[in-house]
Every structure is written in structure tokens, then in C-alpha cells.
Chain A
Amino acid sequence: MNAIEPLPAGTKPLTLYGVTVASRLLLGTARYPSPQVLSNAVKASRAAIVTVSVRREQARANAGTRFFELIKALGVRVMPNTAGCRTPREAITTAQMARELFGADWVKLEVIGNDDTLQPDLFGLVEAAAALVKDGFKVFPYTTEDLVAAERLMAAGCEVLMPWGAPIGTGRGLANPYALRSLRQYFPGVPLIIDAGVGAPSHAALAMEMGFDAVLLNTAVATAADPVRMARAFADAIAAGRTAYEAGLMEVRDMAAPSTPVADTPFFDLDRS
């Protein structure tokens, strides 16, 4: 495994499909300026899981082998995705090819329904999830905040859900916090990972404070001016957000309430009749 620093005191570990995971940050491996920066960013993020993909390989290129060697050297668990698939059939075949290549039965299931928003085709997603679960996969569906879709995915055999924060690559953070909060409250015992749209460490910290179990992100780290330092910033934010959630956040109020004791305030009785 990745060289993991101890979790902040008292922070509960995350369990996904029966596997205890030492970090609540899942990191994508795409769009880094170089393989070395990717490698250093994964280490700095303290992520225990990274996402990968499969793509057409040119004859004699061996690009895939070189990339996989780099990932293997990091000692992290890989989760292949089905990015770019538009139908359940494409996603299922892609997942099967990825399982053979990576020797991993975890799959980040994407069935894309719209080119502009890259939002999931929830109907195709449920269909593909059911088929892959039957085929022995541990499915991590990239979904929206839709509660009914979440129920269907769980009925199909998904034990983890990955609702989007905002469309992939937008960096807008949690676009619909009300619906995400509802989802969190409705499924208190289901691991929920915010996947996509997270642009800043503060977005990730907010997701963790809201009680989400983990955050999956890529672009915000990979395209930062200094991806390695940004990876560390996200790791710190996620750890802080989780600790805060477990510590129990104060209740939000509409009216002010003094923090300094009111009793024995000097001059307290002078200007009041």
C-alpha cells in the first residue's frame, strides 16, 4: 500500500466492499504534466485508491505497460473506469477488458448520457450495474444525486454509490447541496463518495463535513500549477472535514449568540434602564 500517514486521531477508517481503506481521498491519474508529477502527487495525496482507464493501444507501443508499471510501483489499489462509454454494452465490455488487464474487480462505472454535461445515463447505468454485479464485479457507479436512481443501483447490487458534486471537470464544487444532503440522510449506512466537480480543497472539506465518506477527484489536482502541493492540500482538507464531521459540528442559527459569557459583564447595568 501507499505510505500512509496515520489518520487523524479517532478518524474512523472507511470500508468499501469489505475492504478497509486508509484514506478518504481517491485520486484520478489523468492529465498530469508528467509521469513523475503523477507519481509524486499520488504519494502527496496519501490516496490508497487511484482510478485508471483502458484505451486503444498502438501496435508495438507498449504505452500501457509502462503506465501500469508506474502505478504498480505506487502500491495503491487501482479502480478502472468505463469513461467515455455511452451504452451499457460498451461499459460492460470495457469493464471486462479492464478486469483482465488490471486484475481488479472494482470498477468505476460510467455510462455517459450527454456530451456537454457528461452526466450519467441513469437508466443505462442501472442496467450495466446489474449485469456487472452478476458477473462478479464490485461496482462503484458514477451517478447523480437522484434518490430513486440510488435505490435502483442498490437493488442492482451496488454497495457503494458515487454521486457527482458537479459535472466532470467543471470544478464547481457541490452544485446541489440540498439534494446531496437528502441523499446522505436517506442512506446513512451506505458509503457515499462524491465523484466529479470538486475544484478546491474547500469543496472537498465541505463534502466531508456533510458526512460523505470520501471524495474522488482528478482535474483539480492534475491541472493545478503545482499538482503535488495541491494533492497535499486536498489530503489535509479531507482529513480536516472528516475529523470535523466526527467531532460534531455546531448547529447553524439565524440570530447571534454571544460566545463570551454575559454574566458579570462590566457596566452591564449602567446603560440599561
Chain B
Amino acid sequence: MPLDARKRLNVRVNGDPAETEARTLAELIASLGYSEGAVATAVNGDFVARGERGKRRLAPGDAVEIVAPRQGG
């Protein structure tokens, strides 16, 4: 394991503060128990496509949005 694997990052997930050992958006989604195909994501206001989540490295303070289909008018 790389040395930084034990360091925890402080980020925000859906508006709430969260501590994570995840290094990428894909790892974060998996660690939280989301099914990857059932959600869409954005980091700091920018859309991150499903195929890009593994490449999107997390930095301290990142604001992550994880959304799913919902009723709408």
C-alpha cells in the first residue's frame, strides 16, 4: 500500500463533512456503498462522468455531489 493510503482526507459529500481514505472519486463512491451505475457525480460544481471517476483524484476540501433519479415537475 502506498504510504498515503492511511492518511484521511476531509471532504464534503452532499453538503456534509466526511473523512475518507479514498484517493479517487470512484473509491469514495465504492467506500460509501453506492452502486456506481445508479448515481451521477460532480466535484466542486463540475460534472464528473462515470468513466472519469477513477481518474478524478480527491483533494482536501473537495465538495462532492452524488445524485440519483427522483420525482420532478
Taking Cβ atoms with an 8 Å cutoff, the residues of A that contact B are 28-32, 38, 51-60, 62-65, 67-68, 71, 80-81, 83, 89-90, 92-93, 96-98, 100-102, 168, 218-219
Which of A57, A89, A90, A102 gathers most chain B CB within 10 Å?
A: A57
Q: Are the CB atoms of A97 and B71 closer together than 8 Å?
A: no
Q: How far is the CA of A216 from the CA of B66 in the complex (A)?
A: 28
Known: A56-B15, A89-B45, A100-B40. A81 touches B69 (CB 8 A): no
Q: Are the CB atoms of A97 and B40 closer together than 8 Å?
A: yes
Chain A residues with Cβ below 8 Å from B14 are 56-58
Residue B59 at the chain A interface, CB threshold 8 Å: no
Chain B residues with Cβ below 8 Å from A96 are 40, 42, 47, 49
Which of A55, A63, A68, A90 gathers most chain B CB within 10 Å?
A: A55
Q: Are the CB atoms of A55 and B68 closer together than 8 Å?
A: yes
Cβ-neighbour of A97 out of B32, B35, B42, B73 (below 8 A): B42
Q: Are the CB atoms of A67 and B45 closer together than 8 Å?
A: no
Identity of the chain B residue whose Cβ is nearest the Cβ of A72 in the assembled complex: B69
Give residues 26-73 of B contacting A (CB, 8 Å).
Answer: 32-35, 38-42, 45-47, 49-50, 65-73
Known: A57-B67, A93-B47. A28 touches B41 (CB 8 A): no
Q: Are the CB atoms of A54 and B40 closer together than 8 Å?
A: yes
Q: Are the CB atoms of A219 and B71 closer together than 8 Å?
A: no
Cβ-neighbour of B71 out of A57, A59, A62, A67 (below 8 A): A67
Taking Cβ atoms with an 8 Å cutoff, the residues of B that contact A are 14-15, 32-35, 38-42, 45-47, 49-50, 65-73
Q: Are the CB atoms of B68 and A81 closer together than 8 Å?
A: no
Instruction: Tell me the minimal C-beta distance from B48 to chain A in angstroms.
Output: 9
Q: How far is the CA of A97 from the CA of B39 in the complex (A)?
A: 8
Q: How far is the CA of A93 from the CA of B35 in the complex (A)?
A: 21
Identity of the chain A residue whose Cβ is nearest the Cβ of B32 in the assembled complex: A59
Instruction: Tell me the minimal C-beta distance from A15 to chain B in angstroms.
Output: 24
Q: Are the CB atoms of B73 and A64 closer together than 8 Å?
A: no
Q: Are the CB atoms of A54 and B45 closer together than 8 Å?
A: no
Identity of the chain A residue whose Cβ is nearest the Cβ of B43 in the assembled complex: A93
Chain B residues with Cβ below 8 Å from A67 are 68-71
Q: Are the CB atoms of A100 and B50 closer together than 8 Å?
A: yes
Identity of the chain B residue whose Cβ is nearest the Cβ of A99 in the assembled complex: B40
Q: Are the CB atoms of A38 and B34 closer together than 8 Å?
A: no
Q: How far is the CA of A92 from the CA of B34 in the complex (A)?
A: 23
Q: Are the CB atoms of A57 and B34 closer together than 8 Å?
A: yes
With A52-B70, A65-B35 given, can you name 18 additional A-B contacts, CB distance below 8 Å?
Answer: A53-B69, A53-B72, A55-B67, A56-B14, A56-B67, A57-B67, A59-B32, A60-B33, A62-B38, A64-B67, A65-B69, A67-B68, A90-B45, A97-B47, A98-B40, A100-B40, A101-B68, A219-B73
